[in-house]
Amino acid sequence: MESRTASVGARSTESALVRAMPAVFVLIWSTGFIVARYGMPHAPPLTFLAWRYALSVAAFALWIAIARPAWPRERAQWLHLMATGALMHAGYLGGVWAAVKQGISAGTVALIVGLQPVLTAVWVSATGAERRISPRQWLGLLLGLAGLVLVVWRKLGIGEVTALNLALSVLALVSITAGTLYQKRFVAPCDVRTANTVQLLAAFAVTAPLAALESEPMRLHPELIGAMAWSVLALTLGGSSLLYLLIARGAATQVTSLLYLVPPCTAVMAWLLFGEALSPSVIAGLALTAFGVWLVVRAPLSRS
Q: How far apart are CA 292 and CA 223, in angstroms?
A: 36
Number of domains in the chain: 1
CA-angle at 100, arms to 99 and 105, nearest 5°: 115
Neighbours of 28 (CB within 10 A): 18
Range of the domain at 34: 29-303
Residue 269 CA: distances (Å) to CA of 32, 67, 263: 11, 35, 10
pTM metric for this prediction: 0.80
187: three-class secondary structure by DSSP: coil
- 82-86, 123-127, 188-192, 254-258: the lowest-pLDDT one: 254-258
Beta bridge partners of 131: 303
Give the span between the Cα atoms of 255 and 22, in whole angstroms.
7
Q: In angstroms, rounded to a whole number, what is the distance separating the alpha carbons of residues 21 and 267?
A: 21
Give a yes or no: residue 1 inside a domain: no
Q: Would residue 246 count as lying in a domain?
A: yes
Q: Which is higher by pLDDT, 122 or 103?
A: 103
In the predicted model, is pLDDT for residue 177 greater than 80? yes
| Residue 16 resides in a domain | no
CA angle 95, 31, 36 (to 5 degrees): 40
Could you give the 3-state DSSP secondary structure of residue 94?
Answer: helix
Q: Which amino acid is at 285?
A: G
Res 17: pLDDT: 64
- Tell how strand 131-132 and strand 302-303 pair up: antiparallel
User: pLDDT tens-digit profile of 14-26?
Assistant: 566 667 777 788 8
The residues facing 303 across adjacent strands are: 131
Residue 140 contacts residue 296 (beta carbons within 8 Å): yes
Handedness of CA 127, 128, 133, 139 (dihedral sign): positive
Is 85 among the domain residues? yes
The predicted-structure confidence for 233-256, as pLDDT tens digits, reads as follows 999 888 877 765 665 565 433 455
Residue 12 lies in a domain: no
Mean pLDDT of the region 55-67: 95
DSSP symbol at 260: G
161 lies in some domain = yes
Q: Kindly list the distances between the CA atom of residue 263 and the CA atoms of 60, 87, 151, 176, in Å, as whole numbers in the listed order.
A: 28, 20, 12, 15
On the 0-12 / 13-18 / 19+ scale of CB atoms within 10 A, 128 is exposed
Instruction: Give 56's pLDDT tier (boundaries 50, 70, 90).
Output: very high
Q: How far is CA 237 from CA 207, 229, 232, in A?
A: 19, 11, 6
DSSP state of 212: T
Distance CA 213, CA 58 (A): 24
Residue 42 placed within a domain: yes
Classified as helix, coil or strand, 70 is: coil
Q: Which helix (H) or strand (E) is 213 found in, with range?
A: none
In a domain, 21, yes or no: no
Residues of 194-224 as b/e, b for ≥16 C-beta within 10 angstroms? bbbbbbbbbbbebbbebbeebeeebeeeeeb
